[in-house]
Amino acid sequence: MKKVKYRHSTSRLLLLSVAFFISFSVLGIAQDEASQDAAAGSQEQTEESSEDSSAMSDLGDPANGKSLFNSLCAACHKPYSAGIGPALHGVTEKRDMDWLYRWIKNSQELIASGDDEAVAVYEEYNKTAMPAFPQLSDADIDDILAYVEQPKPEPKVAQTGGGSTGGESSGGGVSVNVILGILLFVLVMLLAVLFLVNKTLRNFAQASGVVVTEKPKGKPIWKSFVENQFLVLVSAVFGLLVVGWFAYGFFMQIGVDQGYQPIQPIHYSHRIHAGDNQIDCKYCHSSARTSKHSGIPSLNVCMNCHVTISEVSPETATEEYSKEFYDGEIAKLYDAVGWDPAEQDYTGEQKPVKWVRIHNLPDFAYFNHSQHVTVGGIQCQKCHGPIEEMEVVYQDAPLTMGWCINCHRETNVRMEGNEYYEKIHEELSKKYGVEELTVAQMGGLECAKCHY
């Protein structure tokens, strides 16, 4: 068989890789520019739309209307889509203004008076009565209507490239690669140059008859190292210590999932709920008060609010996650709970959500939330970290036994006003001569308090 020789295989490989890096970096730079353009474009667009909407209103003051709408109407109505009540945009065209005043101030009265339109609306919405708002003046109603009659703002286009994929392919990563690529290229070139220079110099030397004297080789360094037994001993000890240190570090982190941040089936943002909207943790995690589990809220708890909140406000969106992305996540909730937002009704088709558990204690460790939350009055953040700032929840604490024990050593038990503690507090404070007792002094370090 004939062998084909690839004579210049190494140089070809080098060339190829250089070409690859160059093309990659150019592509990255191009993408960067494109996304910048898009962002700039959308910014312009929003500015435009807000301008012309303010010019549109002739009914009243939309700004005042917005605040009134949000405080009084938003629980059931949305301007552009149906909630519990109908979408209000365009209502002034459909209905007479007087009728609207009467309806809003007291719809039941209007229905009782036998107004055909009113009865028809009442029937259409399954006889769900709209509360009366006698406190609203006609001017207020005008303001509200002015607000709802604003044209629908155009959705912001392509703030992030692919929407839901988030910021994985952001420019930063590419540029680092480019710099590294260039550096590598330069280094390779340098090597090549050095090699060539060396070769040329030798050629010159040979041509001019200069004999390059080889330096007599001394004892190689490893040999002298081996002969120095003291050095060998010291470095062996040092080496063992280093290995031991790293081995210990490695073994101690096994099973410790600090920083564990799995991707959840629904992108639920604690930042929005607990941070921006200041919802109490225990509103959703209600069983933390009474049970050992904090409990992942069932979807019907979500629907307490999300039956009316089907989309986020534009301000909620961040650079990383767009409004569409969040709205899509709410749609996932609707899908799971079986809520048809168009019909405003439950379909009965439920798909339980398979959340990924973040905080996992081993089975042999017993932890009770209610003990810490209700009895101890400990803030959730003490163990779970700045949960109200987390867009995606991660495990903040190491959840190791040492971490638990430390806290039990340092934390004083909240005893005031709890009759259970009265007797034991009196006795123990006398015994230890302190007024405040730590968990450890209460016996909180005993093994079987947590292991049984």
Partner 1 sequence: MSSNKKYWKSVEELNENSSVVETLQQKEFAEEIPVNEFLGDKESLESSKTSRRDFLKYVGFSTAAASLAACEGPVIKSIPYVVQPERIVPGVANYYASTIADGFDFASVLVKTREGRPIKVENNDLSKSKGGVNSRVHASVLSMYDANRVKRPMIEGRNVSWEEFDREVGSALGNVSGDIVLLTQTFASPSTTKLIKEFSEKYPNVRHVVYDTVSENDALNAFQAKFGKRALPNYDFSKAETIVSVGADFLGDWQGGGYDAGYAKGRVPENGKMSRHIQFESNMSLTGANADKRFPVTPSQQKAVLAALYGYVAGGSSTSDLPAKIDDAVVKAARQLRKAGSGAVVVSGIPDANAQALVLAINEALGSGVMDANNPRMIRQGNAEEVMQAVEDMKSGAVGAVLMAGVNPAYSLPNANEFTEALSNVDVSLAFSMKPDETAELCKFVAATPHYLESWGDIQYTASDFALMQPTIRPLFDTRQFQDCLLKWTDNDKSYHEYIKETWSGSIPSWNTALHDGVFKATSPVEIEASEASGSVNVATAASELARPSENNGMELTLYTKPSMGDGQQANNPWLQEMPDPLTRASWDNYLTISKADAESMGLENENVSNGGLNGSYANITLDGVVVENVPVLIQPGQAKGTVGLALGYGKKSGVQEEMQVGVNAYPLYKNLNAVQSVTIEKAPGVHEFACVQLHNTLMGRGDIIKETTLEVFNTKDVKEWNSVPQVSLDHVEKPVTSPEVDMWDGFDRSIGHHFNLSIDLNACTGCGACVIACHAENNVPVVGKSEVRRSRDMHWLRIDRYYSSEDSFIDDLDKKENISGLGSSLSEFGELEEPADNPQVVFQPVMCQHCNHAPCETVCPVAATSHGRQGQNQMIYNRCVGTRYCANNCPYKVRRFNWFNYAENEEFDYHMNNDLGRMVINPDVTVRSRGVMEKCSMCIQKTQKTILDAKRDGRVIEDGEFQTACSAACDKGAMTFGDINNEGAVIRDKKEDDRMYHLLEYVGTKPNVMYQTKIRNTTEA
In whole angstroms, the minimum distance from the beta carbon of 348 to partner 1 comes to 10
C-alpha distances out from residue 16 to 4, 6, 58, 120, 196, Å: 20, 15, 67, 75, 20
**Interface ranges with partner 1 (CB under 8 A):** 255, 257, 260, 262, 287, 290-293, 295-301, 336-338, 350-357, 360, 362-366, 368, 370-371, 374-375, 417-424, 427-428, 431, 442-443, 446-449, 451-452
In whole angstroms, the minimum distance from the beta carbon of 113 to partner 1 comes to 39
Q: Tell me how crowded residue 227 is: count the other CB atoms within 10 A of its CB.
A: 10
- In sequence order, what E strands does 266-338 have? none
Please, are residues 324 and 155 in contact by the beta-carbon 8 Å criterion?
yes
Residue (174 or 336) nearer to partner 1, CB = 336
Residue (161 or 341) nearer to partner 1, CB = 341
Residue (227 or 345) nearer to partner 1, CB = 345
In whole angstroms, the minimum distance from the beta carbon of 278 to partner 1 comes to 23
Distance CA 68, CA 75 (A): 12
Tokens 């230890």 correspond to 432
In whole angstroms, the minimum distance from the beta carbon of 103 to partner 1 comes to 34
- Biggest distance spanned by C-alpha atoms of the chain: 121
Residue (200 or 360) nearer to partner 1, CB = 360
Q: Which two tokens stand for residue 321?
A: 């996650």
Residue (116 or 363) nearer to partner 1, CB = 363
In whole angstroms, the minimum distance from the beta carbon of 245 to partner 1 comes to 21
Distance CA 318, CA 167 (A): 11
Give residue 144's identity as a one-letter amino acid code.
Answer: I
In whole angstroms, the minimum distance from the beta carbon of 82 to partner 1 comes to 23
In whole angstroms, the minimum distance from the beta carbon of 447 to partner 1 comes to 4
DSSP secondary structure string for all residues of 158-221: -SSSSSTTTTTT-HHHHHHHHHHHHHHHHHHHHHHHHHHHHHHHHHHHHHHT---PPPPP---H
Distance CA 404, CA 251 (A): 19
Residue (141 or 387) nearer to partner 1, CB = 387
Residue (275 or 376) nearer to partner 1, CB = 376
In whole angstroms, the minimum distance from the beta carbon of 439 to partner 1 comes to 12
Give residue 128's identity as a one-letter amino acid code.
Answer: T
Q: Tell me how crowded residue 262 is: count the other CB atoms within 10 A of its CB.
A: 14
Residue (145 or 288) nearer to partner 1, CB = 288
